[in-house]
Each structure stands twice: as structure tokens, then as C-alpha cells.
Amino acid sequence: MDTKLSKVMTPREKLIVAKKSETVDKNDLRATNKIIKKNNLDTLPIVDADDKVVALVTDSDLQKNEQFPLATKNSNKQLRVFIAVESRLKLAQERIKKAITAGVDGIIIDASVVFREQLEIAKWVKQNFPKLEVVVGNVDSSEMVEKIMEEGFKYCDAIKVGIGPGAACITQQELGTGRAQASAVWDCVKAAKKLEKKYGFLPIIADGGIRIADTIDQDIAKPGDITKALALGAQTVMMGSLLAGLDESPGEKEFDYEENRMVKKYRGMGSIEAMEKRGALRYGIEKMKVKIPEGKVIKVPYRGSGYDFIPKLIAGVKQSFQKQGFRNIKELQEEADIRPI
């Protein structure tokens, strides 16, 4: 170990770097990408005004951009990130300010059933951070969508639809609140379309109710419910239990001897376990002494890595479109034959 670092490391005067003031501070990594490509680098140091390294950009960032072209990214080719915030103005303000510092793209004002304070939060966000996107919810009727569009359209960028359809949600059973997800999406989409000429386009997110076959020998995802949600008019779907079994999701996998397979624990935000943390805020019952659970803790099959599982979902949706003769979502929503049973 007698070799000096100066003998194996690139001298500073020959080292290619990028300035923090021209990249990180501007939230612009396109300049770094150009430098990496031009000089055929695998790593590019980012230095501050004192010539100290503050960040590294690698060629793997470029490779991921090419490898995952369908990933939702901003103009800077960074993954778009949304966070959930409480439906309490003061609590939400605190979290949103921290989120802005971290560079998030949007927030989801999270509650099992939408209520007026969400619109107050949305208004505050747009007044203080106009570029931050805001999603409100949840709703399950045309009346709720109409009220939001009439009073808060200019503050909202999307609405989440779904009260009780989630795999770990028991709101419908415990409180008699909610409805079947397909009819909820259909009803809310019609309301949004009816008011589109007056206010503008407002995307609908189908939150919950997306299920696939759950068998021990399962090896291929069957994403039929995704196609159905899109056909009913949703612009996108939101999934919990379906993705909870992936390596990238929170929690450790374990072997279930009763079912003879690997599983992961998944808790609904309305479960007692979640309410003991911050879940009670989501349901507006944090001050109640007796809390009725609106969710439960379940076990979901371990599904391995999202790098393997999600491409199967995408391929399944594409194949579903092919079987029905649709080339894109627009054609599906305009021409799909939907009949109540």
C-alpha cells in the first residue's frame, strides 16, 4: 500500500467537472448529460464555488432514461414525485414547505372522503406554489365532482375516485359509505365531461379496485381491471395492494406456512395499526377516543422486483387493447362497448 493516490487518481487540472450553480441550483441536468456524452464519461462530479464535490451524475442516469422510456419524468428527465399530505391546513402547510425544498412535483391531499378543507389547502398551495400540482379526493359521485369543479377547479389538477374499493379498505362494510368502483368512475367521469366546456379538462384517477389473479402458482399479471378503469374514462389508475408485494415497496417478505408461499404485510390506512401512527388524520377522527377501523392489515403475495412485474402489467394492458381493436386510450374511451350487467 505504498502507492500514493496522486499516482492513480486524475489530477484536478485534468478532471472534467460541472458547476453546481449551472446544474443543481437550476434543477437542470441536461447540461451534465451533454458533458458526459461529449467526453464519454461514466461519472461527472458537480462542484460548488469552493471547488468542493457536492454531487455526482453517472452514465447510469442516461442508461435508465433509455431503458425506461415510459417512466413519468419531468422536463429535466427526473422521475416525477408526488407526496400525500394531511387534509388539515396547518399540518399540510408544514409538510408541503418541506416537500418544496426537496423538489417534489405535486401533492395529494389525502382523505378517505373529500371535504371542504381540502379546497382551502389547494387554494393555499396554488397561491404560494403555483407550479405545484394538486390532487384532491376521494369522491365517488357526480355531485361531489361538480362541487369541486364549481368551487375549486382553478386550484385542482386532478380528482381521485374511490371510496371503499381497496383490498385493505372496509369503509363500505363498516360505515355503509361508498359504492362499487366501476359505477363510481363512470359517474364521476360523466360529471367532469359535462362541465369541461365551462371550466376545462380535469383528469380522473381511479383509486382502488384494481385486482389480478391471486394464486399460489401465479406467474403472469392479469391487468384486466386497469383496462376497464381506462375504458370507463379514468386517465390513470392508482394501485396499492397490487404493488405492495414488490421488493421496492415497504416491508419485509416472509414465508406464510398456512398458504405455503412468500408474502408481505400490507396495511390499509384506515386500519388500527395505521391509525396509531398518522392514519387517523386521513379519516378525520384523530381526536376521537373510540376509533372504528376503515381498513385492515392483509397479506399479499410476494411478487419479486418491480423491474420484472411492471413490464408485465404494461404488456397486459397493450395486449388487452389489441384484443379489442383499440390503438390507444382515446379510441378505447370513445368506442368501448360498456354495458351494465
Residue pLDDT, tens place only, 63-90: 777 788 888 887 767 789 999 998 888 8
Amino acid in position 5: L
Position 67 scores a pLDDT of: 80
Catalytic residues: 169, 282
Position 33 scores a pLDDT of: 82
Q: Domain 82-243+305-330's class?
A: alpha beta
Position 54 scores a pLDDT of: 86
Q: pTM for this structure? A: 0.81
Q: Report domain extents, the chain.
A: 11-67, 82-243+305-330
Domains 11-67 and 82-243+305-330 share a fold: no
Share of the chain residues as helix, strand and coil, in percent rounded to the nearest 5: 40, 20, 40
Position 157 scores a pLDDT of: 97
Residue 127, CA distances (Å) to 120, 121, 124, 131, 280 in order: 11, 10, 5, 10, 28
Q: Give the CATH architecture of domain 11-67.
A: Roll (3.10)
Position 135 scores a pLDDT of: 96
Spatial contact of 163 and 177, defined as CB atoms under 8 Å apart: yes
Tell me which residues of the chain have a pLDDT lower than 70.
Answer: 1, 76, 212-222, 270-272, 274-291, 340-341
Position 339 scores a pLDDT of: 78
Position 282 scores a pLDDT of: 56
Position 276 scores a pLDDT of: 66
Q: What is the DSSP letter of 275?
A: I
Position 249 scores a pLDDT of: 92
